[in-house]
Chain A
Amino acid sequence: MSTPDDSTLTHEGMAAGNPAGDARLLVIGCGAIAREILALKAANGWDHIELTCLPAILHNHPERIAPAVEQAIVKHRADFNAIFVAYADCGTGGLLQEVCDRHGVEMIAGPHCYSFYEGNARFAETSADDMTTFYLTDFLVRQFDAFVWRPLGLDRHPELRDTYFAHYTRLVHQAQTEDPGLTAKARGCAARLGLAYERRFTGYGDLETAIGAATGAAR
């Protein structure tokens, strides 16, 4: 099936394809990492995995993530040999891990995608120094208005910018891909927030190893 556009991934997510055939592992992921998972699937020949994604905008409502993932697990578990949850804790305060434990499925280690893209070990080492950093991934750069600008009301009340961002000093664009257009857009996002800009190429970080381990276990 074709990949939905970014707006659809943000608000609706992505339905699972037909489980018939070779698909034995279902990855239930965040819409914000759908493209990256599909890129990894193609690059690694993971033909036996199927992907479904929840709306990426749950990122802004972390209290809704664990119940939504549990619902997806219950919905799909009879159709696949195994399920892997492509979320980190993502602001659920351990509730998502509880859901996964209850259903006997694995999830990505770490606090959030910024951490696993950078590599959880490295991110933990540097997080104290990066306290005043505002992160954006490739997806979040593309969907900056939907995830940051409009939800914070900055489209209607730009004067609130410094209320939100006064203590931040820089925007780090964690780049998963080499894309000059996206780099320019990220630089523009930093300017709109009044922050210094830094680009960090992370690639897929721990996302690749986490899903790779799950695919190995499911073969």
Chain B
Amino acid sequence: MSDEEDDEIILSELETEDLVLQMHDDLYDGLREEIEEGVNILLERGWQPYDVLTKALVAGMTIVGNDFRDGILFVPEVLLAANAMKAGMAILKPLLAETGAPRMGKMVIGTVKGDIHDIGKNLVSMMMEGAGFEVVDLGINNPVEAYIEAAAREEADIVGMSALLTTTMPYMKVVIDAMVAQGIRDDYIVLVGGAPLNEEFGRAIGADAYCRDAAVAVETAKDFIARKHNQMAAG
């Protein structure tokens, strides 16, 4: 889409259905101000905050995630899209708290000790929030105690760990081993992710699942939460 065409689009004049599609495009192009404007227009038109979140933002970000997975988009473009989505979510967050939205579960997430990389973790946090999870972000460089204390304090369903370096990813096993030693491993769903990881590594360290990207993390978390609820219902 050319700049010239962009300039001709007045968001407030679009039919709602077209506006949502335009917001998907704007998210794809990382247009932060346009996303903020689109969110406000949808709210003014009486949309529920949860619908704005899921149908305009999450749906748009899912397209971005799919094209990243397929090698069409790259990290810089995904970050710009994420920044735009974050701006939209900042408007919606207080409204979501007021109006109530489905709560999927609670996750504590952090980058492991020795590692300061948080781009992937931040994307996962944002998409998990978009999917209705409550997320407690522990930040970077987290020792075992930080994960275990936060998981207990927050009564989390899910513990998420991220690492970018091959030298720091083994620390995930240190955390899981500590959870096993304390007899609390099965109290949590443990999800791991990061560029150098793979499924085999996730299995080897005793995680419940390795998540290749933020979209997979959301789907995996939903799946595990559903299983947990089914088990509780059966029990």
Q: Which A residues between 134 and 169 are near B, CB-CB below 8 angstroms?
A: 152-154, 156-157, 160, 163-164, 167-168
Contact: A163 with B79, CB < 8 Å? yes
B31: chain A residues within 8 A (beta carbon): none
Kindly identify which residue among B75, B80, B140 contacts A152, using a CB–CB cutoff of 8 Å: B75
Contact: A111 with B116, CB < 8 Å? no
Contact: A168 with B116, CB < 8 Å? yes
Contact: A128 with B114, CB < 8 Å? yes
A91: chain B residues within 8 A (beta carbon): 165-166, 196
Nearest chain-A residue to B201 (Cβ)? A93
B140: chain A residues within 8 A (beta carbon): 167
Interface of A is mostly: loop
Size range of the chain B interface in the assembly? 20 to 34
A154 to B77, CA, bound (A): 11
Nearest chain A CB to B122 CB, angstrom units: 9
B74: chain A residues within 8 A (beta carbon): 153
Contact: B119 with A163, CB < 8 Å? yes
A137 to B225, CA, bound (A): 46
A132: chain B residues within 8 A (beta carbon): 116
Kindly identify which residue among A94, A157, A164, A167 contacts B80, using a CB–CB cutoff of 8 Å: A157
A131: chain B residues within 8 A (beta carbon): 114-116, 141
The reply to whether the CB of B167 lies closer than 8 angstroms to some CB of chain A is: yes
CB-based A-B contact count at 8 angstroms: 46
A91 to B119, CA, bound (A): 18
Q: Which B residues between 67 and 81 are near A, CB-CB below 8 angstroms?
A: 74-77, 79-80
Contact: B118 with A167, CB < 8 Å? yes
Nearest chain A CB to B95 CB, angstrom units: 26
Nearest chain B CB to A194 CB, angstrom units: 15
Nearest chain-A residue to B169 (Cβ)? A93
A131 to B80, CA, bound (A): 26
The reply to whether the CB of A7 lies closer than 8 angstroms to some CB of chain B is: no
Nearest chain B CB to A7 CB, angstrom units: 21
Nearest chain B CB to A57 CB, angstrom units: 14
B118: chain A residues within 8 A (beta carbon): 167
Kindly identify which residue among B77, B116, B198 contacts A167, using a CB–CB cutoff of 8 Å: B116
Q: Which B residues between 158 and 210 are near A, CB-CB below 8 angstroms?
A: 165-167, 169, 196, 198, 201
A167 to B140, CA, bound (A): 9
A94: chain B residues within 8 A (beta carbon): 166
A76-96 Cβ-contact flags toward B at 8 Å (1 or 0)? 000000000000010111100
Kindly identify which residue among B76, B114, B116 contacts A157, using a CB–CB cutoff of 8 Å: B76
B196: chain A residues within 8 A (beta carbon): 62, 91, 93
10 sampled A-B residue pairs with Cβ under 8 A: A89-B166, A91-B165, A91-B166, A93-B166, A93-B196, A93-B198, A153-B74, A153-B77, A160-B80, A167-B118
**Residues in chain A within 8 A of chain B (CB atoms):** 62, 89, 91-94, 111, 127-128, 131-132, 152-154, 156-157, 160, 163-164, 167-168
Closest 6 pairs (CB-CB, A-B): A153-B76, A167-B116, A93-B166, A93-B196, A111-B167, A157-B76
